[in-house]
Amino acid sequence: MKQPKELMNIAANSSVTVLIQGESGVGKEVAARYIHEHSPRRYGAFIALNCGALAQNLIESTLEGSVKGAFTGAYTDQKGIVRAANGGTLFLDEIGELPLDAQSKFLRILQEKAVLPVGASKSIPVDFRLICATNRNLKKEIAEKRFREDLFFRLNVFPVFIPPLRDRNDFDEIAADIWSTICESARRTHFNAPRNRLTLEELNALRQFKWPGNVRQLKNVLQRYALLQAHGIRINEVLCEEYSTTAVCEESTVQKRMAGDNLWAKKRAIAPEWVIIKEALDSCDWNKSRAAHKLGISRGSLSYQIQKHGAY
Buried b (16+ CB within 10 A) or exposed e, 2-19: eebeebbeebbeeeebbb
pLDDT at 72: 62
Helix, strand or coil, per DSSP, at residue 8 = helix
Burial classification of residue 208, based on how many CB atoms lie within 10 Å of its CB (0-12 exposed, 13-18 middle, 19 or more buried): middle
How far are the Cα atoms of 23, 229, 238, 245, 256 from residue 211, in angstroms, in the given order?
A: 11, 21, 14, 14, 19
Confidence (pTM):
0.72
Q: Where do the domains of the chain lie, and which CATH numbers do they carry? A: 2-163 (3.40.50.300), 167-250 (1.10.8)
Question: What is residue 32's predicted lDDT score, i.e. its pLDDT?
Answer: 96
Query: Which of 68, 51, 181 minimizes the C-alpha distance to 117?
Result: 68
Contacts of 26 (CB under 8 A, 6+ apart): 162, 163, 164, 165, 214, 215
Residue 173 CA to residue 200 CA, distance in Å, equals 12
Q: What is the mean pLDDT of each run of 10 residues along the chain (312 residues)?
A: 82 95 93 96 95 84 79 73 95 94 92 88 93 95 95 95 90 92 82 78 90 93 89 87 58 43 47 72 80 75 75 64
pLDDT of residue 9: 94
pLDDT value at position 246?
39
pLDDT of residue 22: 94
Count other Cβ atoms within 10 Å, centred on residue 306. Answer: 18
Q: What is the pLDDT of residue 125?
A: 95
| Per-residue pLDDT at 309 | 72
User: What is the reported pLDDT for 68?
Assistant: 73
Residues 6+ apart with CB under 8 A from 240: 249, 252, 254, 269, 270, 271, 272
User: What is the pLDDT at residue 163?
Assistant: 92
Confidence (pLDDT) at 252: 45
What pLDDT was estimated at residue 70?
Answer: 61
